[in-house]
A and B are shown apart, each in its own frame.
Chain A
Amino acid sequence: MLKVENVSGGYDGETIVKNIHFSVGKGEFFGILGPNGSGKTTLLKMMSGLLELKQGEVKIDDRSISDLTKKQLAKKMAVLPQLSPQVFPYTVKETVSLGRYAHHRSFFQTWTDEDENIVQKVMKQTNISHFQNNSVMEHSGGEQQRIFLAQALVQQPDILLLDEPTNHLDLAYQKELLDLLRTRAKEEGLTVVAILHDLNLASLYCDKILLMDNGETKAVAGPDDVLSEELINHVYQTEVVKQPHSQIAKPQLHLLPGKKSEREGEQVKIEESMLSISPEQIVLQSKQPLKTVSSGVVGAGAGWYSNFVNRHVDANYNCTNHREEMREYLTNHGFPISQTVGMMTAVALEDNSYRVYEGDGFSVMIVVTAGVGNAVDSTRENSSVARPVKPGTINTWIFVNGKLTDEAYIQSIITATEAKAQVLRDCHILDAVTKKPATGTSTDSILVAATQQGKEIDYAGTATELGAIIGKGVYQEMKQSIQHYFKRKEMHDYLSPN
């Protein structure tokens, strides 16, 4: 469709764009990225025929654009430039209609029904028909961008070039514009080539990306390959972190503000004295947010949180919307939802057990509340058998005063779970149905939170120091908690035997 073959060029004597080579297929959304001054706009001007090439060729359907007349080119390729101020008060419709210029053969050709139909259709698609008789100048930047997009689209081009189309647009307009372009590309085969400055938007919308630096190609590939931390750090001279988008399979890059020391903020160390325990709740509040991975009721998943709440609820607690109820509870107790991880347990909170374990350059605090009233063997076949509701939940909190990698988080959870299974076996706790050793209860939760300060810890498997501490710590605290639980149960059975 569109081929850019070894193109070099620039202004006057200066060569700005050097030896760029790529091709774009029909219906593809192609992005051009690069820092300021990397030659993106110059390249686009050469592709649109505004600037002469010093070397190479730009071809549409295997014909060089220099062989086409201006009108022929305008029927193949339209351009949406950056917004410039308007001087004369043309109406929106007059402005859009100008896009039909290339389809008119001569001065004498008049406006046809076909022209009118296309203009009306495109104005509807770009959602501007309701103000078609207003002056262009009356409208905001976002609306003007849509008007000029409509002007370009009534050219009925195969290829649309755009120069930073989302510049000056607010969030909703950016999405609206790019969605519209993508729909056009996928449904009508419009080939889109856009200079974008927002790397994350480019990742979401582009099929392929050209990354430029100093007028040269750094990469031409899919978003996942172009938006690598190494390439972006190198080209933009800025440290970024690559993460997957939480909802769709596209990478996103995160900036790291300021210097490393500024980012870490105040030093914080999680200690036993920070726990406050009452029959109603166990709370830990940190001055700095901790990077947390958890399976709580509120604040589950990965995130940064500074309040951690383990709340006691009655064994008969039954609420159709327990999440909503928990939020209400937290809010009423002064914990902002956005900064809080909340868990529930029917177990008596007095049966808790906690301790700080020191490692080499780091430390770990483990807090467990355990009850095994409905302990199950996770490998049994039918787990939906109805069973008596007895209080039973094991909630495990692991706080690490150190800096963990993603792998370390996952391994911590594995290690803690293995330790839990071991505790239950050693305590001879059996699944009520299968009579085999239980591996947990049906409502267990876990939380791993780290200060992300101090020592960097890459792994937490059982062969590492952190893994060993977590394994040993979880085992000890959980065993102790379960012993508390049994003691209470014996006392209870003794006092009310039936």
Chain B
Amino acid sequence: MKSNLLKYTLSLAFLISTMLIAISVGSVSVPIPEIIQIIGSEVFHLPLGDHVDPKFISIVYDIRLPRVILAGLVGASLAIAGAAFQGLLRNPLADPYILGVSSGASVGAVSTLFFNISIPFLGMYTLPFLSILSALATIMIVLFFAKKIDKTMRVESIILTGIIFSSFLGSIISLIIALTGEELQQIIGWLLGSVSMRGWKYVGIILPFLIIGGLLLLMNTRELNAMSFGEERAQHLGVDVEKRKMLILAAGSILTGAAVAVSGTIGFVGLVIPHLTRKLWGPDHIHLLPLSIITGAGFLILTDLLSRTIISPQVLPVGVITALVGAPVFAMILIKQKKAKGR
């Protein structure tokens, strides 16, 4: 038995080190002790040492820190959403991207931009709100169709339906882009997924949704454990399956929708991180969800760092890196599953 303390210490150590490295590395390199001092002074109003270069303060506080935090929040949202979808659907291949939820959220976001929708009272939250709504609608439709095709909702049926909806929604996005003409580069860049040049405002947009969605899921960890054995089994164990399922789907959609709204579609984080976390620390959702949050945050910070340094000064969309890592992992899980079934 691996002790819980060890699980969380190692995961947090990973997150903190990726954060420090990501803030440190760039066109101008900032030494780590300076980073700690700057954050200490800005956040906790500790006295700043005299030897800290003032230009570092701006680089750290205005550019790198918000970027790293945004990457972390997006990674955390996608990872916990993925973990929850996987448990709920008893499917280690479920992921907001593969299920078409990300595409659904994108359609909501792109439509908001295209039609220039602004809902009164919501203000800057209009975009994430509509992203979340279309994410929720998409997952419901995908599951409805999957059930129509195959009553037992086998893993493959759900994935196939998700992929079909992804491409369908993708073409709707393409259609909208073709109609826009201007701002083309910007929308495409956004679609490929990026956390660059977003600033503190975007951190403010995603944070409330991560808290709401995250808490909702953390309150359903035991139900997720039960549902990993099948919906009927869960009901026999005393779980109010219909209600819990709706809660979990809604929370997953909130998290995915908000992540897409601030960073576009970043695929495979929700697949790779829960898988890795489960492999390392076990499938119990009581720990799987919080650990996925921590590891997912660290992972996206790391991939974002790679995306802006690997062919520097060019910046790659972070979604490219996650897909490069994620697709082979997806294939690996699929092969392993087939093997296990063939036994």
Interface residues, chain A, with chain B CB atoms under 8 Å away = 48-50, 69-71, 73-75, 78-79, 81, 84-91, 94-95, 98-99, 101-102, 104, 107, 133, 137, 151-152, 155
Of the candidates B91, B155, B238, B282, the one whose C-beta lies within 8 Å of that of A101 is B238
Of the candidates A71, A85, A88, A102, the one whose C-beta lies within 8 Å of that of B283 is A88
Residues B90 and A81 in contact, CB atoms below 8 Å apart: no
Binds A, one of B177-185, B219-227, B309-317: B219-227
Binds A, one of B54-62, B70-78, B229-237, B251-259: B229-237
**12 A-B residue pairings within 8 Å (CB atoms):** A70-B240, A74-B237, A81-B233, A81-B236, A87-B91, A87-B155, A91-B282, A98-B229, A101-B239, A107-B222, A155-B237, A155-B238
Residues A50 and B222 in contact, CB atoms below 8 Å apart: no
Residues B283 and A84 in contact, CB atoms below 8 Å apart: no
A74-B238, A98-B225, A101-B239 in contact; A89/B283 too (CB < 8 A)? yes
Q: Does B51 have its Cβ within 8 Å of any Cβ on chain A? A: no
Q: Hey, which chain B residues are within 8 Å of A75, CB to CB?
A: 238
Residue of B nearest to A99 (CB): B237
In angstroms, Cα B236 to Cα A89, docked, is: 21
Residues A87 and B90 in contact, CB atoms below 8 Å apart: yes
In angstroms, Cα B238 to Cα A79, docked, is: 11
With A88-B90, A101-B222, A151-B237 given, name 11 new contacts (CB 8 A): A70-B235, A73-B238, A75-B238, A86-B229, A88-B87, A88-B228, A88-B278, A90-B282, A94-B225, A102-B237, A155-B237
In angstroms, Cα B235 to Cα A78, docked, is: 10
Q: Which 4 residue pairs are nearest across A and B when measured between Cβ atoms?
A: A74-B238, A102-B238, A88-B283, A79-B236
Residues B228 and A71 in contact, CB atoms below 8 Å apart: no
Of the candidates B229, B230, B238, the one whose C-beta lies within 8 Å of that of A70 is B238
A87-B90, A89-B283 in contact; A74/B240 too (CB < 8 A)? no
Q: Interface readout for B272-293 with A: 1 if CB under 8 Å, 0 if not?
A: 0000001000111000000000
Q: Hey, which chain B residues are within 8 Å of A152, CB to CB?
A: 236
In angstroms, Cα B276 to Cα A327, docked, is: 66
In angstroms, Cα B87 to Cα A86, docked, is: 12
In angstroms, Cα B230 to Cα A91, docked, is: 16
Q: Does B341 have its Cβ within 8 Å of any Cβ on chain A? A: yes
Q: Does B92 have its Cβ within 8 Å of any Cβ on chain A? A: yes
Residues A98 and B226 in contact, CB atoms below 8 Å apart: yes
Of the candidates B226, B237, B241, B341, the one whose C-beta lies within 8 Å of that of A85 is B341
Residues A90 and B235 in contact, CB atoms below 8 Å apart: no
Q: Hey, which chain A residues are within 8 Å of B233, CB to CB?
A: 81
* Count of A-B contacts judged by CB separation below 8 Å: 74
Q: Interface readout for B62-90 with A: 1 if CB under 8 Å, 0 if not?
A: 00000000000000000000000001001
Residue of B nearest to A49 (CB): B235
Q: Hey, which chain A residues are within 8 Å of B91, CB to CB?
A: 87
Q: Does B1 have its Cβ within 8 Å of any Cβ on chain A? A: yes
Q: Hey, which chain B residues are within 8 Å of A71, CB to CB?
A: 238, 240
Residue of A nearest to B222 (CB): A101
Q: Give the B interface residue count (CB, 8 A).
A: 28
Name B1-30 residues within 8 Å CB distance of A.
Answer: 1
Residues A90 and B238 in contact, CB atoms below 8 Å apart: no
In angstroms, Cα B272 to Cα A358, docked, is: 87
Residue of A nearest to B341 (CB): A85
In angstroms, Cα B219 to Cα A348, docked, is: 91
In angstroms, Cα B239 to Cα A46, docked, is: 17
Q: Hey, which chain A residues are within 8 Å of B229, CB to CB?
A: 86, 95, 98
A88-B92, A91-B282 in contact; A69/B240 too (CB < 8 A)? yes
Q: Hey, which chain A residues are within 8 Å of B1, CB to CB?
A: 133
Q: Hey, which chain A residues are within 8 Å of B92, CB to CB?
A: 87-88
A70-B235, A88-B278, A155-B237 in contact; A107/B230 too (CB < 8 A)? no
Residues B222 and A90 in contact, CB atoms below 8 Å apart: no
Name B81-137 residues within 8 Å CB distance of A.
Answer: 87, 90-92
In angstroms, Cα B230 to Cα A152, docked, is: 14
Residues A50 and B232 in contact, CB atoms below 8 Å apart: yes
Residue of B nearest to A157 (CB): B236
In angstroms, Cα B341 to Cα A78, docked, is: 28
Q: Hey, which chain A residues are within 8 Å of B238, CB to CB?
A: 70-71, 73-75, 101-102, 155
Q: Hey, which chain B residues are within 8 Å of A90, CB to CB?
A: 225, 228, 282-284
Residues B283 and A107 in contact, CB atoms below 8 Å apart: no
In angstroms, Cα B236 to Cα A173, docked, is: 24
In angstroms, Cα B239 to Cα A49, docked, is: 12
Q: Hey, which chain B residues are within 8 Å of A50, CB to CB?
A: 232, 235-236
Residues A101 and B228 in contact, CB atoms below 8 Å apart: no
**Residue of B87, B236, B237, B340 with highest tally of chain A CB at under 10 A:** B236
In angstroms, Cα B171 to Cα A99, docked, is: 46
Q: Hey, which chain B residues are within 8 Å of A91, CB to CB?
A: 282
Residues B341 and A101 in contact, CB atoms below 8 Å apart: no
Residues A101 and B278 in contact, CB atoms below 8 Å apart: no
Q: Give the distance to chain B from A336, nearest Cβ to Cβ, in Å.
A: 40
In angstroms, Cα B90 to Cα A128, docked, is: 25
Residues A81 and B283 in contact, CB atoms below 8 Å apart: no
In angstroms, Cα B92 to Cα A98, docked, is: 20
Residues A101 and B237 in contact, CB atoms below 8 Å apart: yes
In angstroms, Cα B233 to Cα A87, docked, is: 14
Q: Hey, which chain A residues are within 8 Å of B278, CB to CB?
A: 88-89
In angstroms, Cα B2 to Cα A133, docked, is: 12
Q: Give the distance to chain B from A45, nearest Cβ to Cβ, in Å.
A: 8
In angstroms, Cα B240 to Cα A73, docked, is: 11
In angstroms, Cα B278 to Cα A69, docked, is: 32
Q: Give the distance to chain A from B282, nearest Cβ to Cβ, in Å.
A: 7
In angstroms, Cα B236 to Cα A155, docked, is: 10
In angstroms, Cα B90 to Cα A107, docked, is: 22
In angstroms, Cα B240 to Cα A74, docked, is: 11
Residue of A nearest to B90 (CB): A87
**Residue of B90, B226, B233 with highest tally of chain A CB at under 10 A:** B233
Q: Hey, which chain A residues are within 8 Å of B225, CB to CB?
A: 90, 94, 98
Q: Give the distance to chain B from A88, nearest Cβ to Cβ, in Å.
A: 4
Q: Hey, which chain B residues are within 8 Å of A78, CB to CB?
A: 236
Q: Hey, which chain A residues are within 8 Å of B226, CB to CB?
A: 98, 101
Q: Hey, which chain B residues are within 8 Å of A69, CB to CB?
A: 240
Q: Give the distance to chain B from A280, nearest Cβ to Cβ, in Å.
A: 59
In angstroms, Cα B233 to Cα A74, docked, is: 11
Residues A48 and B228 in contact, CB atoms below 8 Å apart: no
Q: Give the distance to chain B from A156, nearest Cβ to Cβ, in Å.
A: 12
Q: Give the distance to chain B from A99, nearest Cβ to Cβ, in Å.
A: 6
Q: Hey, which chain A residues are within 8 Å of B237, CB to CB?
A: 74, 98-99, 101-102, 151, 155
Q: Give the distance to chain B from A416, nearest Cβ to Cβ, in Å.
A: 61
Residue of A nearest to B151 (CB): A11
Q: Give the distance to chain B from A138, nearest Cβ to Cβ, in Å.
A: 11
In angstroms, Cα B234 to Cα A73, docked, is: 12
Q: Hey, which chain B residues are within 8 Å of A79, CB to CB?
A: 236
Residue of A nearest to B220 (CB): A107
Q: Hey, which chain B residues are within 8 Å of A86, CB to CB?
A: 229
Q: Give the distance to chain A from B303, nearest Cβ to Cβ, in Å.
A: 26
Q: Hey, which chain B residues are within 8 Å of A87, CB to CB?
A: 90-92, 155, 228
In angstroms, Cα B278 to Cα A75, docked, is: 30
In angstroms, Cα B219 to Cα A367, docked, is: 86
Residues A48 and B236 in contact, CB atoms below 8 Å apart: yes
Residue of B nearest to A72 (CB): B238
In angstroms, Cα B241 to Cα A81, docked, is: 17
Q: Give the distance to chain B from A50, nearest Cβ to Cβ, in Å.
A: 6
Q: Hey, which chain B residues are within 8 Å of A102, CB to CB?
A: 237-238
Residues A104 and B230 in contact, CB atoms below 8 Å apart: no
Q: Hey, which chain A residues are within 8 Å of B219, CB to CB?
A: 107
Q: Hey, which chain B residues are within 8 Å of A137, CB to CB?
A: 340
